[in-house]
Structure 1
Amino acid sequence: MSSRRIIPEEDDVDTLCYFLRLPQVISICLAFSLVASMGNERGAVGNWCLAIWCLCFTVTVFISMYECFYCDWILPFFWYKLPITYACYATLFCLLTSIMYPIFYVQYLPYGPSRDRAIAASAFSCIACVLYAIDVAYTWKHYKFKNIPCYVHTLPGLLKILESAVACVIFVFISNTSLYLHQPALKWCVVVYSICFVQVAVAMLLKLSGWENRLPLRLPIFHLGQTMLSFLLYVSAMVLWPLYQFDEKLGGQPHWYTDMSCIDELTDYGCVWDQRLAVAILTAINLLMYVVDLVYWTCQFSVGTEHQPSTPYPLHSQGVSLQSSVEP
């Protein structure tokens, strides 16, 4: 007899997720194939979008196969949090590629087959974004109806997802090392982005694995200290990056038309000045999210409560699976 009981509501959400994942895989595969068929013409931004689509395709197929072949097993207690967390990331990444690829690459392509394929790839990326968003919305509604706690349903969880997603986009742009190698202050900004991203990744892994309660510090103190450090680091980046990128006295380029990559024929990285501006805007966005995160954990610490997003998970701390908690 199977060790996993399937209740009607769970069966419904699984059925819809299976129904959505096939068009998700097809849309991502088509976007990937169209850009890959462009060969060396796809540019650096195209390579990054290609990597994102490839990752989404691989993870979606893995999750589908895992649930298909191991649906009768007792899944790890953290498994049910993984698909919706991944769907949130996939929604954001597909949205970002749908915006980045046309703005930073497609518009510079000459009219012809390559431009048509790039536009079609952007359209399929938009379709995949919508499909992943439906997946998130339906699963979110299902978990809320069943009173199932999930990290991405909380304000800190949403902020961590957004902070890490924005940091990934920053990494896409700073992969062009000519943006910062000429100035030590700009190199420091790259270090800031890396340190803060690692901190967010560690916090996410601790939460999803259920190991957060094993920390020697109380959760409000741990998150407050981590968020305060990231906030201060991003403040320094918010000052240094625009100053050294756009101040002519410090070797920057204050105007778009002074950058030859924006007025000459398409280069491997597209318009470099636009990428400098994009990193500055993304830095400001992440700084704003760290401010919200800092306010939240300051309030949690000031009221002296230990009611954190991880404590409402008694099943997790006891290592009990979600499926085994269902009454027979």
Structure 2
Amino acid sequence: MPVTVTRTTVTTTTVASPGLGSPTILGSPRALTQPLGLLRLVQLLSTCVAFSLVASVNAWVGFTGNWCMFAWCFCFAVTLIIIIVELGGLQARFPLSWRNFPITFACYAALFCLSASIIYPTTYVQFMSHGRSKDHAIAATAFSSIACVAYATEVAWTRARPGEITGYMATVPGLLKVVETFVACVIFAFISSPSLYNHKPALEWCVAVYAICFILAAVAILLNLYDCTNVLPIPFPSFLSGLALLSVLFYASAMVLWPLYQFDEKYGGYPERWKDSGCRNSHSYYVCLWDRRLAVAILTAINLLAYVADLVYSARLVFVRV
């Protein structure tokens, strides 16, 4: 929103923030003294400290280290952009819908920091020798956890309440879309090795399921972020219900086929971890293939549950509309 400056007089605009009980001041440094502004400062500081501690001792190696460093840097950069936009009152000039963008990012950031807070200590920190580098890594994990809590708190504060008129991404189905796409991205990271699936058509089908469902959910998110849901030839709630139903059916098939062909010996799978020679090392920053198979199976189940919940909420939207 605009900021009008007349000599030494500054006119600011205030808007109510869902769930905060007090207005947020836009286009003024006082925006940072409001509850949501202070929370974003905590997010900015904690992510900055996390990646700075790790970078200062070069304590990030391999896939897991790169993932965690990306998570912290990405969250820091976008949080800084959000703060600058609100301080300058530039919401109207921002290319994405401001009703949907901040909470969408906050949900993604909470998931990114959560994954980094789990992956970094379990696959990297515990294998480090005692010293300055390990101390920095432990401190970075603590700040990553703080950031996760801060982003999750923003989601809880700003999500839609019953009866509120707000953006779709602030509703439960919208937040579930974020979870679905994030989990799919983690699945893609674990199946980056083609040897996990290129020897069986059933496993290739599972990979196709992950890709198709990710694209459909991403399209739904982008339509809301760009405020162009009216371009669809059918009502948006009906589109969401059809998308959720199709995704549930696809993921149900993957939930059966992926574990069957990865862990059943009759179908060429490996039911026991020790049979994977890459998993026998006591310490390795590389995630072995059997662990990747198991991780994908668990993530497939998580996403299936998310799509089922999405289908239930989306069906309710259609029912209410009718």
Length-normalised TM-score, structure 2: 0.81
Partner of 2:125: 106
2:56 equivalent to 1:56: no
2:142 equivalent to 1:123: yes
* CA–CA distance in structure 2, aligned partners of residues 72 and 129 of structure 1: 25
CA contact (8 A) 2:39 2:150 kept: yes
CA contact (8 A) 1:28 1:56 kept: yes
Which among 193, 196, 206 is matched to residue 179 of structure 1?
Answer: 196
CA-to-aligned-CA distance 1:153-208 (integer Å, 9 cap, x gap): 42311221221222122223223444334444333322221111111110011123
Partner of 1:27: 46
Partner of 1:5: 13
- Identify if the C-alpha distance between structure 1 residues 188 and 146 changes in structure 2 by more than 3 Å, giving closer, same or farther: closer
Deviates more, 1:74-83 or 1:196-205: 74-83
Which among 288, 303, 321 is matched to residue 286 of structure 1?
Answer: 303
CA-to-aligned-CA distance 1:188-230 (integer Å, 9 cap, x gap): 3222211111111100111232211331112343222222221
The 5 Å alignment of 1:1-328 reads 2=4, 5-6=13-14, 9-11=23-25, 15-37=34-56, 39=58, 42-71=61-90, 78-140=97-159, 144=161, 147-301=164-318, 303=319, 305-306=320-321
CA contact (8 A) 1:108 1:270 kept: no
Task: In structure 2, give the amino acid aligned to 1:194.
Answer: A
Deviates more, 1:193-202 or 1:167-176: 167-176
CA-to-aligned-CA distance 1:246-273 (integer Å, 9 cap, x gap): 1223332211222233331433423432
Task: In structure 1, give the amino acid aligned to 2:321.
Answer: E
CA contact (8 A) 2:169 2:221 kept: no
Give 1:106 shift: 3.3
CA contact (8 A) 1:173 1:279 kept: yes
Deviates more, 1:285-294 or 1:8-17: 8-17
* CA–CA distance in structure 1, aligned partners of residues 80 and 151 of structure 2: 13
Task: In structure 2, give the amino acid aligned to 1:231.
Answer: V
Task: In structure 2, give the amino acid aligned to 1:187.
Answer: E
- Identify if the C-alpha distance between structure 1 residues 79 and 297 changes in structure 2 by more than 3 Å, giving closer, same or farther: closer
CA contact (8 A) 1:247 1:253 kept: yes
The answer for unaligned runs of 5 or more in structure 2 is 5-10, 16-21
Count of paired positions = 303
Say which SS state the counterpart of residue 217 (structure 1) adopts. Answer: coil
* CA–CA distance in structure 1, aligned partners of residues 55 and 31 of structure 2: 34
Task: In structure 1, give the amino acid aligned to 2:291.
Answer: D
Give 1:277 shift: 1.1
- Identify if the C-alpha distance between structure 1 residues 200 and 273 changes in structure 2 by more than 3 Å, giving closer, same or farther: same
Name the % identity.
51
Give 1:279 shift: 1.1
Give 1:4 shift: 6.2
Say which SS state the counterpart of residue 135 (structure 1) adopts. Answer: helix
* CA–CA distance in structure 2, aligned partners of residues 107 and 187 of structure 1: 35
Say which SS state the counterpart of residue 6 (structure 1) adopts. Answer: strand
Structure with more helix by fraction: 1
Length-normalised TM-score, structure 1: 0.80
Deviates more, 1:256-265 or 1:92-101: 256-265
Give 1:48 shift: 1.3
Higher RCO (Cα < 8 Å, 6 or more apart): 1
CA contact (8 A) 1:105 1:270 kept: no
Structure with more strand by fraction: 2
* CA–CA distance in structure 2, aligned partners of residues 43 and 89 of structure 1: 23
Task: In structure 2, give the amino acid aligned to 1:241.
Answer: W
- Identify if the C-alpha distance between structure 1 residues 41 and 212 changes in structure 2 by more than 3 Å, giving closer, same or farther: closer
Task: In structure 2, give the amino acid aligned to 1:210.
Answer: D
* CA–CA distance in structure 2, aligned partners of residues 226 and 57 of structure 1: 32
* CA–CA distance in structure 1, aligned partners of residues 283 and 139 of structure 2: 20
Say which SS state the counterpart of residue 210 (structure 1) adopts. Answer: coil
* CA–CA distance in structure 1, aligned partners of residues 98 and 279 of structure 2: 46
Partner of 1:321: none
Partner of 2:19: none
